[in-house]
Amino acid sequence: MKTNDMNQVAVHAIFILLAAFCLIPFVLLFMSSVSSESSIVNNGYSFWPKEFSLEAYTYLWSQKSAMFNSYGITILITLIGTFVGLLISALLAYPLSRRDLPMRSILSFLVFFTLLFNGGLVPTYLIYTEVFHMKNTLLALIVPGLLTNGFFILLIRTFFANSIPVQIIESAYIDGASEFKIFIRMILPLSLPILATIGLMLTINYWNDWFNGLIYITEPQLFSIQNLLNRMLVNIQFLQQNNLGGQNMAVNLPMNAVRMAMAVVGILPLILIYPFFQKYFVKGLTIGAVK
């Protein structure tokens, strides 16, 4: 029983306010990115700039090799990371979901213990840099994120255990199929929902990751979009100083507007695909909680 009409109005009003609260920062960001630099310097970032201008975007376009480079890095690590991460997770989760697996409890414990205890930043950092020498390599952006702990494994394993009847596995085995064939031909197709969900979460994590780049990368060539944004947040002259773009525009670089434009460029892809994947995303979140 829903509330009556009067209260519906109130409820809608509340949500319009809430929605505004959520969206306002984005509006400010976007509006600032299409302001002229002088209007920002004189009047600050505003919702309706005194003077519209696309100079920030023009500047970014002049730096397009740096932009394309970092976009390329982001897309590359997202694609590879999601694919490999999903593969490793599924391969690890499937045997754990099989009740007939020998040593199942020990192995499960080993995997899920990682959810409880973490070595910490310092040892992890030292392992990746001193032992595996991954500093300033593309691997440093991909590997740490593949499988941070057993959480995704837990989700996938639960799915396998609950949604795939043991009987069909058994009958396939009796019919002579090898474990690998069962996995590839039967299990994977049946688990598209969970793979899509986890894949989506991995994609978002990789797209948004800036931390790995922050600690492992100092070479500007390897900056992802988020890393580039990060450096620019702190050092407004970053693009200029590092001469990444090649093109050197003289003075009066629209730095304030450029920062905002850069941020818009950083979130645009996610916002564009969001409507399409929202359903899966919501489902993924609830799977995680309803365990």
Partner 1 sequence: MAKTGWAATFKKLKRYRALFIMMIPGLAYLVMNNYLPMFGVVIAFKDINYAKGILGSDWIGFKNFEYLFKTRDAFVITRNTILYNGSFIVLNTTFAIAVAILLNEVRNKLAARFYQSVILLPFLISMVIVGYLVLSMLSAESGYLNLNLLPMLGIEPISWYFEPKYWPYILTIVQLWKATGYLCVIFLAAIVGIDHEYYEAATIDGAGKWHQIRSITVPLIAPTITIMTLLAIGRIFYSDFGLFYQVPLNSGPLQPVTDVIDTYVYRGLMTLGDIGMSSAAGLYQSLVGFVLVLLSNYIVSRRNKENALF
Name which of residues 159 to 178 contact partner 1 (CB under 8 A). Answer: 178
Nearer to partner 1, 235 or 247 (CB): 235
9 CB neighbour count, 10 Å cutoff: 11
Rule CB under 8 A: choose which of 43, 171, 243, 247 binds partner 1.
43
Nearer to partner 1, 57 or 94 (CB): 94
10 CB neighbour count, 10 Å cutoff: 10
Name the residue type at position 186.
Answer: M
Rule CB under 8 A: choose which of 9, 79, 101, 192 binds partner 1.
101
Rule CB under 8 A: choose which of 55, 57, 81, 144 binds partner 1.
144
Per-residue tokens: 289: 């909680």
> Contact region for partner 1 (CB under 8 A) — 45-53, 65-73, 158-166, 245-253?
45-53
Over the window 102 to 141, marking each residue x when it contacts partner 1 by CB under 8 A and - when it does not, the resulting string is x----x--xxx-xxxxxxxxxxxxxx--xxx---------
Nearer to partner 1, 49 or 245 (CB): 49
Distance between CA atoms of 74 and 203, rounded to whole angstroms? Answer: 10
Nearer to partner 1, 26 or 61 (CB): 26
Q: Which of residues 172-211 bind partner 1 (CB under 8 A)?
A: 178-180, 183, 204, 207-211
Q: Is 52 helix (H, G, I), strand (E, B) or coil?
A: strand
Distance between CA atoms of 101 and 223, rounded to whole angstroms? Answer: 43
Rule CB under 8 A: choose which of 56, 66, 153, 253 binds partner 1.
153
In sequence order, the 6+-apart residues with CB closer than 8 A to the CB of 161 are: 97, 99
Q: Which of residues 46-65 bind partner 1 (CB under 8 A)?
A: 46-47
Nearer to partner 1, 127 or 246 (CB): 127
Nearer to partner 1, 94 or 159 (CB): 94
In sequence order, the 6+-apart residues with CB closer than 8 A to the CB of 230 are: 210, 213, 214
Rule CB under 8 A: choose which of 89, 191, 197, 212 binds partner 1.
89
Per-residue tokens: 128: 């990746």
Strand partners, 35: 52
Nearer to partner 1, 12 or 246 (CB): 12
Crossing angle (nearest 10°) for helices 64-97 and 151-163? 50
Nearer to partner 1, 131 or 251 (CB): 131
What letter would DSSP give residue 35?
Answer: B
- End-to-end, the C-alpha distance of the chain in Å comes to 29
Q: Which of residues 217-256 bind partner 1 (CB under 8 A)?
A: 226, 229-230, 233-234, 256
Least distance between partner 1 and beta carbon 221 (Å): 19
Distance between CA atoms of 226 and 74, rounded to whole angstroms? Answer: 8
> Contact region for partner 1 (CB under 8 A) — 43-51, 163-171, 188-196, 241-249?
43-51
246: left (phi over 0), alpha (psi -120 to 50) or beta: left
